[in-house]
Structure formats: structure tokens, C-alpha cells
Amino acid sequence: MQTSGNPVELILPRQAAIRLLLLSLVLLGLTSAFSYIAGNASAPVPVVAPPPKPLAVPPPVMQVVLPAPNPVEQPVPSPAMSQPLAGRTYLQMGAVERGVGEVFVEFLKRRGLPAVLAPGPNAEIYRVLVGPLKDLDEITRVQAELQAAGFSTFLRRYRQTSAP
């Protein structure tokens, strides 16, 4: 028997092709489901450590005694807070909140500079001043020392005392 070089064609009606496709999809789905179930069944079960045993002696209980609250708290004046002297010259480092200003004043006093915290333009802002300074030589020396420490300043002369 002679065969021609033509490949064999399988001709299926449309409905048969659809049935074959659906059957192969169902078999693929079943195979995947069984593989998933078999994989989960053979996976090692994680070991859960038992909870730690409680201590035989309970830790000591601390009792905190709070002082009775003050009905009206008055702001405590800062030792650094001062009213600038009228007619005297100061170097102003900045206008900041009170807490920041107190830190600046403490830092400057540790460096041996006459620093004060003065009232600012409103109730929340305070001026950090160095002085009073006597003459141009002292102003130049202090300004150079502050610039060497990384601070910028400007000269301020108080003509009259201002209210906070």
C-alpha cells in the first residue's frame, strides 16, 4: 500500500470539537484540584510552641501617688526672663517661642555671654538678646564670637521699655 506524503486530517463536526474541548478543560481542572489537595495534605504542619509558663512570683506592683492638682497654675517666671534696659544696646539673636529662647539663653550664659530673654511682639514670642553691651569694641567682639559659633545677630537699641 502506498501512502501519499499528505498528512492525515481529522475532521470533526463543530459540536464534537466543542465537547472534546470541554472534556479536556474538565479533566485539567480535576487534575489541578487533586494536585492541590494532595500538596496540602503532604505539607508539614507547623509546630506551635506552648505558651510560656507564668512566673511563680508576680512582679511587684508600683504605686504612684500623684500630688493634688493646683486649681490655678501661674506661669513661673524664667530666671533668664528680663526686661531690656532703656537706652542700652543689645545684639538680638532671634524671636522664638519661650522654651527655645530659654535653651538659647542657657547656652549663651554657659559661654560667658550676658544673655537675656525679653518679651517679643506678642505673648507667644520672646526675643533672645545678648547684652547690654557698653561700646563698639564689646559689640564687635561679642558679634564675632557669636558668628564663629554659627549664629547671626543684629544690633538693637531699646529706647523705652516695652510691655510684654
Given its phi and psi angles, is residue 138 left (phi above 0), alpha (psi -120 to 50 degrees) or beta?
alpha
Query: Taking 90 as the threshold, does the pLDDT of residue 89 lie above it?
Result: no
* Residue where a domain stops, chosen among 5, 25, 40: 40
Range of the domain at 36: 13-40
Q: What is the pLDDT of residues 33-66, one digit of tens each?
A: 888 888 777 767 677 777 777 666 666 777 777 7
Residue linked to cell 493634688: 68
Tell me the CATH number at 149.
3.30.70.1070
Verify that 36 and 93 share a domain, yes or no. no
Q: Name the domain count of the chain.
A: 2
Is residue 34 situated within a structural domain?
yes
Is residue 25 situated within a structural domain?
yes
Residue 147 makes CB contacts below 8 A (sequence gap 6+) with 153
Is residue 51 situated within a structural domain?
no
| pLDDT for the residue 104 | 85
Is residue 148 situated within a structural domain?
yes
Q: What is the pLDDT of residues 107-159, one digit of tens each?
A: 888 888 888 888 888 888 888 888 888 888 888 888 888 888 887 777 777 76
The C-alpha atoms of residue 145 and residue 110 are separated, in whole angstroms, by 13
Is residue 103 situated within a structural domain?
yes
- Between residues 162 and 15, which one has the greater pLDDT? 15
